[in-house]
Amino acid sequence: MTRICFTSDQDNGLDSVMSYHFGHCPYFVIVDVDENGNVSNVESISNPLADEHNPGELPAFMKSKGVNVIITGGMGPKAQQYFADYGIKPVIGAYGKVRDVLEEYLQKKVRYVPNPVEAPHKEEKSGESDEAERLKKEVAFLREEIADLKSLIRSLEEKLK
């Protein structure tokens, strides 16, 4: 059995939209998959460290949950090393709904990226402007729209087969 953890912006199980950053995502969707690729369990949990960003704590938490693979939008090289040290394979660059990304991963369409080039993390400053907050909400909305469109395209492709 493989236990795969997906970072998520929502608490909707397989229908959740993927989060772009593993450390600050609000939820994790943990999926158990047997050797034949069949899903045997889906569990959504809150990220207990979403408001904190202490290096190494989330990889240790994932190890305690029995996770073998973590799939997310982005993760820095240092975090990847922490996961690797715990024997957890990080897969980055994923986006869309968890259900679709899971299918892509099982079909080997999501590729492991060992050393991504990522923008450096910026420290958030308290007292962000209303405009910045509005833009964050707009980005979250657009990510959800992209995830819905990706699901629609996937279902149309299935019908055309």
In this structure, what is the dihedral angle of CA atoms 25, 64, 114, 142, given to the nearest 10 degrees? -20
Kindly report whether the global pTM for this prediction surpasses the value 0.85: no
Place of tokens 């938490």: 61
**Predicted pLDDT of residue 134:** 63
Cα separation of the two ends of the chain: 30
Would you state the pLDDT for residue 103?
Answer: 93
Quote the pLDDT of residue 68: 97
**122 falls in which pLDDT band (50, 70, 90)?**
very low
Q: Where are the domains of the chain?
A: 2-160
pLDDT at 155: 87
More confident residue, 124 or 13: 13
Lowest-pLDDT range, 49-63, 65-79, 86-100, 121-135? 121-135
Predicted pLDDT at 124? 43
Sheet holding 27-33, edge to edge: 39-46, 27-33, 2-8, 69-72, 89-92
| Tokens 């949990």 found at | 45
Q: Can you give the pLDDT at residue 129?
A: 66
d(CA 2, CA 111): 17
The pLDDT value given to residue 131: 64
The share of the chain scoring above pLDDT 70, in percent, equals 83
Fold of 2-160: Nucleotidyltransferase; domain 5 (3.30.420)
Q: What six digits make up the tokens of 77?
A: 């090289």
Please give the DSSP secondary-structure letter assigned to residue 73.
Answer: S
Residues 6+ apart with CB under 8 A from 67: 3, 4, 5, 30, 88
pLDDT tens-digit map of 7-63: 999 999 999 999 988 888 999 999 999 999 999 999 999 999 988 767 889 999 999
From the list 17, 12, 29, the residue with the least C-alpha distance to 143 is 17
Token pair belonging to 73: 């939008």
- Partnered with residue 17 across adjacent β-strands are 97
How far is residue 72 from each of residues 14, 48, 118, 125, 127, measured CA to CA in Å?
14, 17, 13, 25, 28
What is residue 142's predicted lDDT score, i.e. its pLDDT? 81
Q: What is the DSSP letter of 17?
A: B
